[in-house]
Structure 1
Amino acid sequence: MISYSRSIIQRLQMDVMGVIIFLSGCSGSSVHGPNTVEAFIGEMFTVTCYYDTYYTNYEKYWCKGENWKNCMILIETTGSEEEIHKGRYSIKDNHTSHSFSINVYTPQKTDSGFFWCGINKYMWDKMTKIEINLSALPSTVKISATTFTTLPTTTATLTASVRYSPLTSHSSAFGRGQSQGSRLNLMYFLLLLSLKFPVIILVLAATAA
């Protein structure tokens, strides 16, 4: 009777252990990633999750949903290191670093919320929960610089010289022209005087006679 009771207790203990192991299959102990990811709408971001060596050749996936029971798989691997593309998502497994990365291209507001990195396992998947927070890109302020050009002093001096030199030239030419005109007038006066002087003498002589 005692031996029969012990066998029942042992079987119950084994069943309890089996249930514990069974339930622990959905825990995130074998796969882990960041708790939260901060990103911007329209700007690509990457999420990387790590797993135990045992699950190297298992299929990995990225799914959306607050509850692991009904999360929707968006993209998954084939168990190899081949990079998979689907819509705005890509996923790649790295067997050397025991990690897989998910790229989200041109993320939208709907890409915010709770997501899961998961390993496709018989009956119970290995999963870890990640919260994605997306915000609008900060506005950028463009400041245009105004360039001021200062002319050198020598350039200003040369410009002034060129500007005023024609006036000086005109003044000199005017002075020279005025001097030449005076000389011509004097010569003309002397010529007239030399022509009229004999006539005046003859007139005076006739009057005296």
Structure 2
Amino acid sequence: MDFVFLCFMISFSVTNAGLSGPRAVNGTEGHSVNITCTYGRYFSNFPKYWCKGSDWVSCTILVQTIGRNMTTSDGRISIKDDTKVREFSVTMKHLTLNDEGWYWCAIMRVFIDLRSRVKLNIIENTSTAKDIWKHNTNYNRIWNIMRWIFLAILLVWGIVTARM
């Protein structure tokens, strides 16, 4: 009995030895970020996934491999598994400040999934392009109001000139 327990504890203690990822990754709002996780050769044929949650129990799977590649339905998050170099990469596009938080690189196994915790930090984008977009949005709002005013003026002018 003690021998079985010892074997279990040894195998449990090295379960994360087969998977590693970065501790933290920085991304910029509106841009993309790529996270690469490496794994041991034994895990090449196991499904890989990317989930979000501060702790493992509350982790929600965002994307997982079906075969070697998969993209979320909105196209923002994709995962690719390269079994030759034994790494899988997750790409997150069009980052928002809400994307910041704890994520997990993980490999699905029968009893205990392998996992590696990653902190994603999002840097607020204060670039000129963002300011131009805001400016254009305000311009569009003003133009939407002004065009109706111009239409009303043209109609009144047309009516007045037709009566003369």
TM-score normalized with structure 1 length: 0.57
Structure 2 residue aligned with 1:84: 70
Deviations 1:9-35 (A, max 9, x none): xx22322332442x336x431111111
For residue 109 of structure 1, report the CA deviation from its aligned partner.
1.4
Equivalent runs, 1:194-205 vs 2, <5 Å:
none
Q: Which of 85, 89, 100 is residue 101 of structure 1 equivalent to?
A: 89
C-alpha RMSD of the superposition: 1.7
2:26 matches 1:44 = no
Q: Which runs of 4+ in 1 moved over 4 A?
A: none
Structure 2 residue aligned with 1:14: 4
SS where residue 29 of structure 1 aligns? helix
Q: Unpaired runs of 5+ in structure 2? A: 130-164
- Counterpart residue type for residue 107 of structure 1: L
Structure 2 residue aligned with 1:64: 52
- Counterpart residue type for residue 14 of structure 1: V
- Counterpart residue type for residue 31 of structure 1: L
Rg comparison, structure with higher value: 1
- Counterpart residue type for residue 15 of structure 1: F
SS where residue 57 of structure 2 aligns? helix
Equivalent runs, 1:34-183 vs 2, <5 Å:
34-78=22-66, 80-81=67-68, 83-86=69-72, 87=74, 88-140=76-128
Q: Unpaired runs of 5+ in structure 1? A: 1-10, 142-209
Greater per-residue strand proportion: 2
Structure 2 residue aligned with 1:157: none
Structure 1 residue aligned with 2:13: 24
Q: Distance in 1 between matches of 2:124 and 2:16?
A: 31
SS where residue 38 of structure 1 aligns? strand
SS where residue 111 of structure 2 aligns? coil
- Which gives a bigger RCO, structure 1 or 2 (Cα 8 Å, sep 6+)? 2
Greater per-residue helix proportion: 1
Q: Distance in 2 between matches of 1:65 and 1:42?
A: 22
- Counterpart residue type for residue 110 of structure 1: N
